[in-house]
Amino acid sequence: MSSCPNCGAPREANHRFCPSCGARLDAQRELKQVTVLLADLCGSTEQVVRTDAEGGQAYLDQALRLMSEAVSAYGGTQVQWRGDELLALFGAPVAQEDHALRACLAAVAMIDAMKARSSPDSPMAVRIGIDSGEVIAGPGSGDLATSYRVDGAPVHLASRLEKLAPPASAYISGNTQQMVRGQVDARALGERVLRGFSTPVELFELAGGLQDSAAGPLARRRFLGPMVGRTRDFDALARLADEVRRTGLRTVGVRGDAGIGKSRLLAELLAQLGQTGFTTVSVTARSYASQAPYSLVADIVRALQATVPAGAGASQTATDAAVSDPQADALHAAALADLLGTGQSGEAWKTLTPNQRREHLASTFVRLVHASVGGAPAVLLLEDIFLADSSSLRLLESLPRRLKAQPLLILMSYRPDFSHRWNEAPWFVEHCVAPLAAADLSSLADELLGGDPSLADTRAALLERAGGNPLFLEQLVMTLVDAGSLLGSPGAYRRAPAEVLLRVPASIQTIIGARVDRLPEGVKASLEAAAVIGEPIDADLVAAVRDVPRADAERHLRHAMSGGLVASDASGSDYAFRHGLVQESVLASLTRIRRRQLHQSAFEAYQGRATAQAPVQAAVLAHHAFHGEQWQPAAEYALRAMARSIERSENKDALRVFELGLDAARRIEAEDTMLSCELALRVEALGAQMALGQFDAIVSNLERAESITLALGDTRRQAAVSLQLAVTLWARGSYEQGLSVATQAGQAAEAAGSRSLHMAATQARMMLHHGLGRYVEATEDAMAVARDFEVELQARRLFPGWAVMASTNLHAFIADIMTLRGDLKAAQMSCDAGYAELEEQDHPFSRVLLDFSQGELLLAAKRPAEAAALFQTALEMCRTHEISNMYPAILAHLGGALALAGRPAEALALLEPAVAQKLSRAGGRYNEYYFPYFHGIALQAAGRLDEALAAARQACEAAASFKQRGHEARSLLLLATLEQRTGREHESQQHLAQALALARACGMEDFMDQAAQAHHA
């Protein structure tokens, strides 16, 4: 059962009127940009009292008729008569881009008509108030004496202005004056404080009107008219296409303002290239899908699927060709299944890490390109790439090196404020599209209008208003055609006998709204459903959302296409909005109730599809559930979308979905369900926050999570939250407090029977002992985990709230502990075991952590050049995957490795800016020791011994302040070595003794004994 769009009450499908509020059910209330006119007949009571009943009626009839005629003459709607007061509306029910001007002209006409009919015996005058802004308008309720209702602040402000205005005058607000400036004569009256309004209102008195209108800003859309004035742009791009034929891949960025002509230029280019042997593929990035990883790549693949390879059978798609190649394997088919959500990807695919999956996706994409176009030249157009998801952008950035031999032209359009990293690439060139010159704009006007002499004045006004923007000119012409001011056909118009009112809109919303409002109700409703669903517009989804037959939805979309609002692809199976602001304008007109209903229907439609459970759909389902105010499903799908993003190390995307899910969870009415959903979201978010080094957010998150577990009385979840707190305390350097929390968490987990939590708590103890330099205890913890939790470690998955796989974390810490204790053989064995597991299931954060331990081992083995190479690779991975938490530590170690490899200048060039920027304060407390320690090593290698001494002392102080006894021992050894080199023998011996004592206490005798021997040597 559906509900009334006016009041939300349930209604049957066959009801024409709402049984609750009486509203018509075949019409909707909408948000509209309008101008409200409120007119009051002055002195009517006195006039009626002075004459008999018939005379009084005749007087009122004449006055009210004049008021009605003035409103009707300028296309206004008479909403309500209240005695001798008229409420009129301009811009609704049918949107009018010049609604403010119409209202002002109607007011002037009304005042003039009253003056013309007035006489000493029968004075007649009206006072008027006018304001512009957003209202909610639509069918009136059954208990109101009006068939059309309008509500909003403009109604009240217009009433206030009408009360202020003297007889035979009209007051307009600053809102209205801004929209009609230059088109009407108005005298400024200053600001007034009006009852009910918190800020002063700027007032103007209307003095008269002109028949002009002002141009307003417009945004992007595809050109429907012919292209002129782009010969140089076209030729420049065509030359690049010729280079592609000769030398291979080229990528071109087409930059320009909204509406300046990028889409039209590229459409003409593709049409030309298609006639000269190029295979053409065109895709537009979708803004709502930007949270879904690889959504743009998936759209490109779908576009390529329609391309049949040369020599293939008519039924064989490019995808079939790509995965049936003898060189292809099952993972390529799995990559496509995962990307498109079209089937099961298989267990082999699930074991891959995000990095491996990206590699296979890229490889599959390349194969698909080759299968689609073979060795023939091709062009791939990516429109509005600034809306693309970050995963797709990164994958696309990696493609040129794989496709450099392919004769492929990649065209990307974007706006001036879009920043990218392609400018320095040899395969990239940028082309800027500028406004049209005056002569070119004049040629476009000729093409659009024709040369009829009656258009001379109209043509001149249009060119003046367009200002070099071809979209402005096109929209102005289309508005005049819709208004009936131009008769004939495109390129052969003539002026209508009536006066032409040049209506230049204040915003694109009113231009598009005027065309949308003229559609039949069914077509308009389908367009609204399409706007909520987004592109590509699928007729099946539109039909499901509206609960109408598919044939009706298809017919509606075709009707909208004939009206220039929607376009179809070559096959006619999918549709898209002619430009993005059509969708935005339609959405902006929907009331909250109507939008909620459509999102609910979209959510149900997506759920009903076979691919609804595919992880890639989780973000879309969360989006529609949230805006459909289905709070629990929104929170649950947000949780799934977060997990998918974290698995791919798309941590920022995960946190964006987290905010949506959290907002949804807080709105769930059942308290236990609300708290459970919020807790699950917060625990899942910890993994992304840890990877990004957002420790303050982690602490805040944990505090809230702890309060939730206490409210729920869930001991298992309390243990999970305590465990996360222990790890956070480790990162923040509160090791002893963390040990206490981890111990309690382990006991609670054991009592609750949760082996995975018990294992994690033991690993947390290992990490905290490592921080304190208690390497013997850390070793015991590590061995206990390896011995007692073999099954849990073999799962090799990310536990909720973790940034690293549990087994990799164990291998990395064992390797580091063994390195510090001097057992390099055992350390290498642990690293080897970790790398073997990562070969089966890679994960960027886990690999970076293991590379860190392997690099420390290589430094201890006096192989700094190999360590530097490994740290450099790890640093790049941190940048690529936004692993902010590990980045500072890797950078510090890279600097140290370069110095020890005999490259101190490079080391200092890397370390000194980082030290100046206080990078040591990011990514955990270890870094406050790492940076001065390796800075000291680099300064020593550069022969700057006094500065090296200062850095070594700083490293000692940092390690001591956090009770990092192992780190303190290493810092003291560096300090002793530097003191020995600078002739401070007594201090050197003291610090060496302290270092050795700490080393023995930490269980790192072998390591420090070797270091002491090197010191004496």
**What pLDDT band is residue 221 in, cutting at 50, 70 and 90?**
very low
**What pLDDT band is residue 19 in, cutting at 50, 70 and 90?**
low
Quick one: pLDDT at residue 661?
92
Question: DSSP letter at 24?
Answer: B
**What pLDDT band is residue 578 in, cutting at 50, 70 and 90?**
low
Stretch 272-286: mean pLDDT, rounded? 86
Quick one: pLDDT at residue 963?
93
pLDDT at 466 over 70: no
**Separation of alpha carbons 123 and 425, rounded Å:** 79
**What pLDDT band is residue 220 in, cutting at 50, 70 and 90?**
very low
Quick one: pLDDT at residue 1011?
62
Stretch 229-243: mean pLDDT, rounded? 91
* CATH 1.25.40.10 domain residues, the chain: 664-835
Architecture of the domain made up of 512-590: Orthogonal Bundle (1.10)
pLDDT at 845 over 80: yes
Stretch 476-504: mean pLDDT, rounded? 74
Of 88-92, 411-415, 804-808, 921-925, the one with minimum mean pLDDT is 921-925
Which among 1015, 981, 982, 983 is positioned nearest to 994, based on CA atoms? 1015
**What pLDDT band is residue 907 in, cutting at 50, 70 and 90?**
very high
User: For residue 326, what are its two tokens?
Assistant: 């003898």
pLDDT at 56 over 90: no
CATH superfamily of 28-209: Nucleotide cyclase, GGDEF domain (3.30.70.1230)
Task: Give the orientation angle of helix 671-691 with respect to helix 695-712, to 10 degrees.
Answer: 150
pLDDT at 455 over 90: no
**Separation of alpha carbons 832 and 205, rounded Å:** 84
Q: Tens digit of pLDDT for each residue in 743-762? A: 988 888 888 888 888 998 99
The pLDDT > 90 percentage for the chain reads 31
Handedness of CA 300, 301, 302, 305 (dihedral sign): positive
Of 649-663, 720-734, 975-989, the one with minimum mean pLDDT is 720-734
Q: Tens digit of pLDDT for each residue in 308-317? A: 444 444 334 4
CB atoms within 10 A of CB 738: 25
pLDDT at 327 over 50: no
Q: Tens digit of pLDDT for each residue in 768-777? A: 999 999 999 9
Quick one: pLDDT at residue 399?
79
pLDDT at 993 over 50: yes
Q: Tens digit of pLDDT for each residue in 600-612? A: 999 988 888 756 5
**Which 3-state string (H, E, C) describes 144-181?**
CCCCEEEECHHHHHHHHHHHHCCCCEEEEEHHHHHHHE
Residues contacting 567, CB < 8 A, separation 6+: 222, 561, 575, 576, 577, 578
Quick one: pLDDT at residue 215?
23
Task: Report whether 183 contacts 194 (CB < 8 A).
Answer: no
pLDDT at 465 over 70: no
Task: Write the DSSP string, 74-101.
Answer: TT-EEEEEETTEEEEEES-SS--TTHHH
Quick one: pLDDT at residue 223?
46
User: For residue 692, what are its two tokens?
Assistant: 């990004």
pLDDT at 4 over 60: no
Handedness of CA 725, 728, 732, 738 (dihedral sign): positive
Q: Tens digit of pLDDT for each residue in 291-326? A: 678 888 888 888 887 764 444 443 344 455 555 554
**What pLDDT band is residue 909 in, cutting at 50, 70 and 90?**
very high
Task: Report whether 107 contacts 125 (CB < 8 A).
Answer: no
Stretch 407-434: mean pLDDT, rounded? 83
| Mode of pairing for the β-strands spanning 408-414 and 250-255 | parallel
pLDDT at 288 over 90: no
**Which 3-state string (H, E, C) describes 451-515?**
CCHHHHHHHHHHHHHHCCCHHHHHHHHHHHHHCCCEEEECCEEEECCCCCCCCCCCCHHHHHHHH
Q: Tens digit of pLDDT for each residue in 380-405? A: 999 888 878 888 888 888 777 788 77
User: For residue 767, what are its two tokens?
Assistant: 């990490």
Instruction: Give the chain's mean pLDDT.
Output: 82
Of 210-214, 458-462, 610-614, 948-952, the one with minimum mean pLDDT is 210-214
**Separation of alpha carbons 511 and 523, rounded Å:** 18
* CATH 1.10.10.10 domain residues, the chain: 512-590
Q: Tens digit of pLDDT for each residue in 24-50? A: 555 577 888 899 999 998 877 777 777
Q: Which residue bears the tokens 């799908």?
A: 637
Q: How far is CA 206 from CA 41, 131, 210, in A?
A: 17, 12, 12
Stretch 475-480: mean pLDDT, rounded? 73
Q: Tens digit of pLDDT for each residue in 170-216? A: 999 998 997 887 778 899 999 888 888 888 999 999 986 543 322 22
The helix, strand and coil proportions of the chain, stated in percent and rounded to the nearest 5, come to 60, 10, 30
What CATH class has 231-432? alpha beta
Task: Report whether 22 contacts 44 (CB < 8 A).
Answer: no
Quick one: pLDDT at residue 506?
39
Query: 536 versus 909: which is more confidently predicted?
Result: 909
Task: Report whether 437 contacts 186 (CB < 8 A).
Answer: no
Stretch 501-519: mean pLDDT, rounded? 62
Bond preceding residue 536 cis, omega within 30 of 0: yes
Task: Report whether 26 contacts 16 (CB < 8 A).
Answer: yes
**What pLDDT band is residue 767 in, cutting at 50, 70 and 90?**
very high
CATH superfamily of 664-835: Tetratricopeptide repeat domain (1.25.40.10)
| Mode of pairing for the β-strands spanning 30-42 and 85-90 | antiparallel
